Amino acid sequence: MEVKRHFSWRSLVTIAALCLFHVTAGETTLGQTPQMGWNSWNTFKAIINESVIHETARLFGTLGLQKAGYNYVVIDDGWANHSRTADGYLQANVTGFPSGIKALADKVHAQGLKLGIYSDSGILTCDFKPGSWGYEERDAQTFASWGVDYLKYDNCGGFEGMTEASQVRFGTMKNALELSGRKIFYSVCEWGFQFPWRWGGGIGHSYRISGDITASFTNETGCACKTAYCLNTGYAGCSVLTIINKMREISQYGVQGHWLDMDMLEIGVANMTLYQQQTHFTFWSALKSPLIIGADLSRLSNESLAILTNKNIIALNQDSLGKPVSYVETLSEDGLWQVWAGNIESGYVVLLLNEKSYPQTISLQLSNLGLGTPRKIVELWSEKTLKTNAFNGTLQPYQTLVFKIDTA
């Protein structure tokens, strides 16, 4: 047993070394900022077809999402036929995708957008379609030949797949994508098993840190794991607030090019208040999570659209430093309000979250955080400039204020 373990650590080192080689060789510039786009799962689950993708791509333009920076249209689970071709290739379900994935990619590309697709590191996907376990190179080549730009790679797939370490299963597809001859963004989705922030940076451009998000701001009924290091991670879903809380332990592991993925957005999906939606978008942005919309764009409210296209908050996500904010324990009041802070290119940013279902009056000193000397302070949602280096005011239930502090 011990010997085996040593061997797998050695192959891990090899994977890490390969990764370093590719970065230094300048072969990949993908993922220099967190990816922005849309994914079918949060609304459509596995019942998906090409007209939904066409319509979504069209709405990227008409709703101003493309202009705001969203460019990946990602098809999640449910696109494939239940069996491979007689030759062993993946094929689309012809009922849902009669034109095929290549034609769909061409159409999406013609609009200046990119197409993402989904597969799984096991024998089967979560929707019991063929997984890529044992077919990694072939499937990566198939995706490349179709003109696919992005792969979300999942963690379902039955006993056989799960007996191989995550590092091996997800690393094999990383290598296959690199051999495919096409630049394909690699979105690792292994639900936070075995603490991927310890190793995920060597494999994916982004990697999920927990099980699926639920369409709720606080409901924890189905959430077995409320902390990042809980052993029972996996599929069980947690709310927006719990996923934010998990990041308190691990935000420091996020590095440019290998983003911690807090999962797809529930803005416009869940029944959330304006302030809950703002808080959701603020934390995903400031923690440098991918911004992948999960809503049905044809039914998006103006309120949700305005949040998803807020220039100030998106700029925080796409900031050139690529540094996630961290939890500031000394300024927070556990269970009542949270303060997070971190550097951005123009200075630093401070987040103040009212974690309660009632309003709270909070005062907060915004200088002396060791992040620079304030020259100008603007609250990004209201765009109001503060006259002093301190804030004293009332936050509504679950509201987050975002102070952008320019330094000299």
Ligand X SMILES: *[C@@H]1O[C@H](CO)[C@@H](O)[C@H](O)[C@H]1NC(C)=O
- 212 assigned to active site: yes
Q: CB nearer to ligand X: give 42 or 251.
A: 42
Strands (E), 104-184: 114-120, 150-154
Whose Cβ is closer to ligand X: residue 62's or residue 385's?
62
* 346 touches ligand X by CB under 6 A: no
Beta carbon nearer to ligand X, 52 or 369: 52
* Residue 108 amino acid letter: V
User: How far from 224 is each of 80, 86, 143, 158, 209, CA to CA, in Å?
Assistant: 31, 41, 35, 21, 14
Site string for ligand X, 268-307 (x = CB under 6 A): ---x------------------------------x-----
Rounded to whole angstroms, the Cα distance separating 170 from 166 reads 6
- Rounded to an integer, what distance in angstroms lies between the CA atom of residue 39 and that of residue 96? 16
Exactly one of 28, 33, 66, 93 binds ligand X (CB under 6 A); that residue is: 93
Q: Which of residues 217-236 bind ligand X (CB under 6 A)?
A: 219, 221-222
Give the pairing type, strands 36-39 and 259-261: unpaired
The SS3 call for residue 304 is: helix
Among 330, 363, 382, 385, indicate the residue that binds ligand X (CB under 6 A): 363
User: Do 93 and 125 meet the contact criterion of CB atoms below 8 Å apart?
Assistant: no
In angstroms, give the least distance from the CB of 174 to ligand X: 28
Q: Does 85 bind ligand X (CB under 6 A)?
A: yes
Please state whether 26 falls in left (phi above 0), alpha (psi between -120 and 50) or beta. Answer: left
Query: With binding defined as CB under 6 A, does residue 367 bind ligand X?
Result: no
Which residue number is nearest to ligand X in terms of Cβ? 222
- Note whether 365 binds ligand X by CB under 6 A: no
- Binding-site member from 49, 304, 310, 317 for ligand X (CB under 6 A): 49
Which CB atom, from 27 or from 55, has the smaller least distance to ligand X? Answer: 55
Strands (E), 317-399: 326-327, 337-344, 347-354, 360-365, 374-379, 384-385, 390-395
Q: Give me the DSSP letters along 47-78.
A: ---HHHHHHHHHHHHHTTHHHHT--EEE--TT
83 binds ligand X (CB under 6 A): yes
Q: Is 120 a catalytic residue?
A: no
Residue 26 sits at the vertex; the CA angle it makes with 23 and 31, to the nearest 5 degrees, is: 65
Out of 62, 95, 232, 330, the residue judged to bind ligand X by CB under 6 A: 95
Task: List residues binding ligand X (CB under 6 A).
Answer: 44, 47, 49, 51-52, 81-83, 85, 93-96, 216, 219, 221-222, 271, 302, 361, 363, 392
**Catalytically annotated residues:** 154, 212
